[in-house]
Amino acid sequence: MTGYEYHRYTAYSRWRLGGRGGIRGGRPELFKKYRGSEIKKFPESLLKPDKKLMEVVLWRLPGSSSALFDENLLGLLFFLSYGIRPDSGLRGYPFRTVPSAGALYPCELYFCPDGIGPWEGGFYHYRADLHGAERIAKGGGSGSGLDVKVSVLPYRSAFKYGERALRYVLLDAGHLIEQIRMAGRIVGLEGLAYSGCEEPSVWEKAAGLSADHEVFIGGVRFGEPDCANLMPVMPIPEMQRCGELASGGDCGPVIREVLDAIRHGCFVFDEEPEIAGYEDESLPDISAFNAIIGRRSHRNYTGKTISYGVFDLFVRALGSLSDYSGFVVYFALAAVEGFTPGVYLLKADEAVKKGCEALGRIRSASVMTELAHACLGQGWMANGSFAVIIALSFEDAERAYGDRGYMHLMINAGRVGQRIYLLSEGFGLGCCGVGAFYDGDVSDVVPMDDDTYPVYVIPVGSRSR
């Protein structure tokens, strides 16, 4: 089954809410542990670099130097990327810095540091629960940089969401990949995001992954690390057993087959074009650190109108990540200054330069209530000021990227989602990713072309205090 077929197969309708064929097992572990490995802790006290959220989200770093990288910054990079948020203690659950469908966190982080401070070369697994890393392979080369790899354990999500879970897993991975890139900028590194994995069997061996439970799905490369000749420090069957325990069960034949078909090979995402015309002083000056640790999904919107200027920045900043063949972005506008309520299609290739002028209206009606109904009746969405609806044209995606286009663009949808979360935080707004919807109903609300399928909906609004 290709990714495109999988997406159609897992569509929800009012009569069918997806299958669970062959998915079985117990409760997954929230944190993967390589039992018996040596753990290196990051320094407890976190540096708080003086970076503003908006400069991090909107602008690439002029240059980056991995030579400046020390272990304080490495610890901060991982904490900001996928650490446990400080408010988690109060809430009694280890919420992370990134959102995740159902807070199930199906991703794990690995990294290969090369010439980074006191870190010996090799391959490491990030332990969010201990704020440290375990060295799982020795080796590495003579380059300079850091390769951060994201793996997914689909059962962690499938035990709750059934076969539809792989959609959420890919979106979650995209959120995380974008967050790693942003965390990189905070610590002074500009990275390149990628989906998939070059030579998956080499990396799976280095981490002792069993592809039935966990596969590498993408990552971010900083500098030019040389991650050659990695030798696992534990017997591979022991490492695989750790992956099995972390997964907790069998994600079923459908998800396994689709992942197996799309995980080979690697696509690097384009460097985004610069967003010009915004002065630092005109932007909110919330610190990047505070925004990331304060981020949450918000569902309490007031319906207040969002100013043209703020919305224009959303359009440019989303457009800069959206210019991919087959990647389609719609905006459902309810309360945005200067716009008649309606559904608008984004011309992604013009968005960075033209902002709001790159939107063309395709439907005149305020559709937030309809959209909320289409999203399994999640009524809280109806008060949003606008919603972003991301869809894929399967024909265009397949023509441009082949079978793997599905994974590439789903991960990109997650990246765009993360950007919406960060921008919302920056402007004091709220947003929440929505992956649960009746697919055909969302297509009708928008309305979409026959070959275009919704993949992600993100309402945004001013939030009540």
Ligand X SMILES: Cc1cc2nc3c(=O)[nH]c(=O)nc-3n(C[C@H](O)[C@H](O)[C@H](O)COP(=O)(O)O)c2cc1C
Binding site for ligand X (CB under 6 A): 95, 99-103, 168, 171-172, 175, 296-297, 378, 432-436
* Nearer Cβ to ligand X (328/434): 434
Q: Which is nearer to ligand X, 296 or 354 (CB)?
A: 296
Q: What is each CA distance from 324 to 50, 57, 118, 201, in whole angstroms?
A: 33, 19, 39, 28
Residue nearest to ligand X (CB): 99
Shortest distance in whole angstroms from residue 378 CB to ligand X: 6
DSSP 230-281: -EESS-HHHHHHHHHHHH-EE--HHHHHHHHHHSBEEEEPPPPPP--S--GG
Shortest distance in whole angstroms from residue 18 CB to ligand X: 13
Task: State the minimum distance, in angstroms, from the CB of residue 407 to ligand X.
Answer: 14
Distances (CA, A) of 242 to 32, 37, 204: 7, 11, 13
**Distance of alpha carbon 179 from alpha carbon 323, whole angstroms:** 19
CB of 432 to ligand X, least distance (A): 5
Q: What are phi and psi of 232, to 5 degrees?
A: -55, 145
Closer by beta carbon to ligand X, 230 or else 374: 374
Taking a C-beta distance cutoff of 8 angstroms, is the pair 97, 295 a contact? yes
- Bridge partners of 13, per DSSP, are 16
Token couple for 1: 């089954």
Asked if residues 241 and 157 have their Cβ atoms less than 8 Å apart, the reply is no
Q: How near is the Cβ of 58 to ligand X at its closest, in Å?
A: 22
Q: What's the closest the beta carbon of residue 157 comes to ligand X, in angstroms?
A: 9
CB of 200 to ligand X, least distance (A): 23
391/394 Cα distance (integer angstroms): 9
Given CA atoms 194, 417, 426, 105 in this order, what sign does their dihedral have?
A: negative
User: Does the bond joining 447 to the residue before it have cis omega, within 30 degrees of 0?
Assistant: yes
CB of 25 closer than 8 Å to CB of 250: yes
Tokens of 179: 């967050």
Q: Considering the complex, state which of residue 297 and residue 302 has its C-beta at the smaller distance from ligand X.
A: 297
* Nearest alpha carbon to residue 335 among 390, 388, 383, 389: 383
Q: Mapping DSSP to helix (H, G, I), strand (E, B) and coil, where does residue 46 land?
A: coil
Instruction: Give me the amino acid identity at 147.
Output: D
Whichever of 232 and 433 has its CB closer to ligand X, that residue is 433
CB of 414 to ligand X, least distance (A): 7
